[in-house]
Amino acid sequence: MLAASARRVASSAYSNRANQLAHALNQQRWIHDRNKKAMELVAKGWSALQEVDRVIDYADRNDKRLIPLLRGAKENFELALEIDNMNTHARLWLAKMHFKYHVPGACKAIGAALLVEAANMGDPDAQYELGCHLRIENDYVHSDQQAFYYIEKAVDQLHPGALYLLGAVYLTGDCVKRDIASAMWCFHRASEKVGISLQKRDTLELQLHMDHFY
């Protein structure tokens, strides 16, 4: 009698555990499918922007032939955010569209808000972009201290552009105390990230040493 009861308890516990595991796996599969779909939409939007960038130098920025591509890219990025609201890539590219492209409904204030969101969510590209925007005086954003904060955040993730910019800041003493050693470290790490040749890197190092000497 006791053995039968123990078997029923064990069977029930095993069934509950199996159900929990199945639920967890289904949840993970749903998240994976959602993220995959969102990234597919981001890729479509990015592809459309690549086509715009390919021809924009040879066309008027108000050329009506560009509008379908720009509208399609914007819609894909917006759909990606609807599917996965945590997708920082969609946020970043949508922000760039509001800032850079002559797309219907473009608004720099919206672009700034999207860029800040993506940066605060930890996207290094967004942190770098926001740092650059904050260093440029305009009607929406301007703060050297905040710019330095976001550039450093991107540097923590070894973003090559941010490393170069921070190196230049340390080299010139702009906003911070001039620090040649820190500048050299930033330039070295950036060159490693983007694959700059050793010869160019040695030339840069020589220039830094000469600057320090004089």
Q: Is the pLDDT of residue 87 over 60?
A: yes
34 in a domain, yes or no? no
44 in a domain, yes or no? no
204 in a domain, yes or no? yes
189 in a domain, yes or no? yes
87 in a domain, yes or no? no
168 in a domain, yes or no? yes
Whole-angstrom Cα distance, residue 12 to residue 21? 14
Confidence of residue 30 (pLDDT cuts 50, 70, 90): low
151 contacts 175 by C-beta, under 8 angstroms? no
**Domain count of the fold of the chain:** 1
Collect contacts of 79-83 with beta carbons under 8 A, ≥24 apart: 79/41, 80/38, 80/39, 80/41, 80/42, 80/45, 81/38, 83/34, 83/37, 83/38, 83/41
Whole-angstrom Cα distance, residue 74 to residue 62? 16
**Nearest alpha carbon to residue 82 among 115, 32, 42:** 42
Confidence of residue 213 (pLDDT cuts 50, 70, 90): very low
Over residues 13-25, the mean pLDDT reads 62
Whole-angstrom Cα distance, residue 53 to residue 107? 20
52 contacts 81 by C-beta, under 8 angstroms? no
167 in a domain, yes or no? yes
Task: Give the structural domain span for 166.
Answer: 158-214
- pLDDT tens string 57-73: 777 767 778 888 899 99
Query: Reduced to 3 states, what is the DSSP secondary structure of residue 79?
Result: helix
- pLDDT tens string 147-187: 888 999 999 999 999 999 888 888 888 777 888 888 899 88
174 in a domain, yes or no? yes
